[in-house]
Amino acid sequence: MCEMDEKRRALNNQVQYSLIEYRVAMEKHYHHLSTTDRVTLMFLKRQGLSLRAIASELNRSPSTLSRELQRRAVEGRPYDAEAAGLAARSARLLCRPQRKLVGKRSTNYTGMVSP
C-alpha cells in the first residue's frame, strides 16, 4: 500500500509540473522591440556580428531580428534605429481600427446619448 501511494504521489507531481510548465509556456507574450534593442541591433550589426550573436545578446529570436531588418531597413543604406522606430510606431498606429465614436459623447446601453 505504501509503495502504491508513493507512485501516485510521484505521478501526481509529474502531472502538476507538466501543467505548470504548460501554463508558463502559454503566458509568453510578444513584446515589440524597444528603442534600446533597435540601437543595440544597429551598432552590433555595423560591427559585423551575426544575427544569432546579436539575438543571444538581446535575448531575442534571430527570426525577430531578421524580420526587423527586412521590414525597417532602407535598401542600399545601413539599418538606422531611429528611422526604424519611427516606421514601427507609424505602422502600429495604422493597423489599429478606426474609432467609431469621436469626442466625449457616447451612447449608453439604453440608446440615449449622454453629454
Residue 105 pLDDT > 70, yes or no? no
Model confidence pLDDT, tens digit, residues 27-83: 556 678 899 999 999 999 999 999 999 999 999 999 999 999 988 888 888 899 999
Phi, psi angle pair for 60, to nearest 5°: -125, 165
pLDDT at 44 (0 to 100): 93
Q: Determine the Cα–Cα distance for residues 57 and 10; give it in Å rounded to an integer.
A: 38
pLDDT at 42 (0 to 100): 93
If one counts every other C-beta atom within 10 angstroms of the C-beta of residue 101, the result is 8
Q: Determine the Cα–Cα distance for residues 7 and 16; give it in Å rounded to an integer.
A: 14
Domains of the chain as residue ranges with CATH:
32-94 (1.10.10)
1 SS3 class:
coil
- The separation between CA 11 and the C-alpha centre of its own chain, rounded to angstroms, equals 35
